[in-house]
Structure formats: structure tokens, C-alpha cells
Structure 1
């Protein structure tokens, strides 16, 4: 299943090394294949967990904001170096907000954070497996169903 994830317009995926994108995609594929062999209730439980998963934007925003606040608080006591850290963190957050990607995004991405769209693709594939959509065949075995669900989620 090498070509199911076709999000070329996604700035994060475009700026992420192919190996990192591949690793994230393979994790999704493995999960969807596993879930293709599970009961509807197990799929529903996992979908509930995905609803609470933080996406890359949220991780970057919280991390940069926390470093900015920490730098401001520590800078009030200990001086200029901490304020510089706050400025750098705020600048990186601004860069991420303007361009949709930056060094913080790259770091968080390497750690495995996914974009909201990638999380949603997995959710749609799992909903398709669960039977929420009519386009997924019920015959053909788990692998065929998983492949069809991943392709349907992308459409």
C-alpha cells in the first residue's frame, strides 16, 4: 500500500523527510489492518481515543507558548537570557503560524506527531471499516477491506 496517502498540498508533509512521513503512514496502515480484524466495539473504542489525540499544530502551539511563558517568568528574576528564549519561542510559533511549518514542527513531527488531516484520514478509514459508509466491501478479507478503507478515506 505505497500510495494511499496523497496529501501533496500539505505543507507539513511537504517539508517532512520522506522517511518520517513513511513511518507515520506505516503506523496508520498497521493500525487499520489490525482494526480490520476487530469487532465494531473495538474500532469504536479506538476512534474515541483518536478524538482526543493532539495534532501537530496543538503540540507546537502549547510547547512554544509554554516555553515563552517560562522564559518570561524566569526572565523577570534571572535576566536577559530567559527573555531571549521567550523571543525565540514566540518567533518560532509565529513562523509556524504564517508558513504552517517550521523547526518546531519538524522536531515534533520526528517525534511522531501527526497533522489533523492525517488523524482524520485514520478516523475515516476506521469508520469505513466499522461500516459507517457503503463504499467498503464486506468480502475480500481484512487486508482488502483495510486497503479499500484507506483509499476511501483519501477520496
Structure 2
């Protein structure tokens, strides 16, 4: 099995139109901040707080697992199947960079850490030129 590198897993398993939209939105922001360099520091602070796709996926999966375990223990044991499915999705994501929530998160504009860091580097370069 040929596994993609960690840095390339998510973009490789994301549709090209979604990847392109994310790149275009980043380029649009860079053009904006190039014209408004006084706002770059605030944007860099926003980037420090932006959740990447991995963190978003992990937080959502953990929440779903905990809620399902509580419901399985108190409401109906059949709900205990949900944590098993979520765990399978997480394993699939770890190996392939894809699982059912990833296309949804990417369409919502959730970026990889590499994409966030690229914007940070570009903004820092713009600020240093200003």
C-alpha cells in the first residue's frame, strides 16, 4: 500500500476544485494584506488561533466518541457502535488522509497546517517589506 506523506495526505485526497478554492482565497487575502500592511499583525494573530483540519477532525471525533459512550451507557447500548465507526474513520484518515468528514471540512474551508503556515510566511514577508 502506497501511503501519501503526512503533509500531502489531505490535499491529495481533496478534490482539485476545493484545493483551488482554498488557494484562491489565500491569494485573495494576501493581495488584501499587501494593500493593507497595517492589518498584517492582526491577521497573524488570527492564524495563530485558526484550527487546522487535523485538530478539527480530532476534536469532532473525540466529542462524538464521548457523547456516544455516554449515550451507550445510559440510553441504548446499540449507540456504542458509533465510537467503533469513528475510530475506523480516524484510522483511515491516519493511513490515507481521507475519511468521510474530510470533504465536508475542506468544503467549509478548513485548511491544513501547511496551508496556514504558507499564509503566515507570506504575510511575514509582506510585513518585512512594508
- Confirm or deny a common fold (TM above 0.5): yes
What aligned pairs does 1:90-109 form with structure 2 within 5 A after superposition? Answer: 90-109=87-106
Name the structure, 1 or 2, with higher relative contact order (CA <8 Å, separation 6+): 2
TM-score where L is the length of structure 2: 0.88
How many aligned residue pairs are there?
124
TM-score where L is the length of structure 1: 0.74
- 1:4-33 deviations in whole A, cap 9, x for unaligned? xxxxx7111111111100111111011000
Q: Distance in 2 between matches of 1:112 and 1:81?
A: 34
- The structure with the largest alpha-carbon Rg is 1
Q: Distance in 2 between matches of 1:81 and 1:32?
A: 49
Corresponding residue for 2:35?
Answer: 37
Corresponding residue for 2:4?
Answer: none
- Runs of 5+ unmatched residues, structure 1: 1-8, 139-155
- Runs of 5+ unmatched residues, structure 2: 1-6
How much is the aligned-residue C-alpha RMSD, in angstroms?
A: 1.6
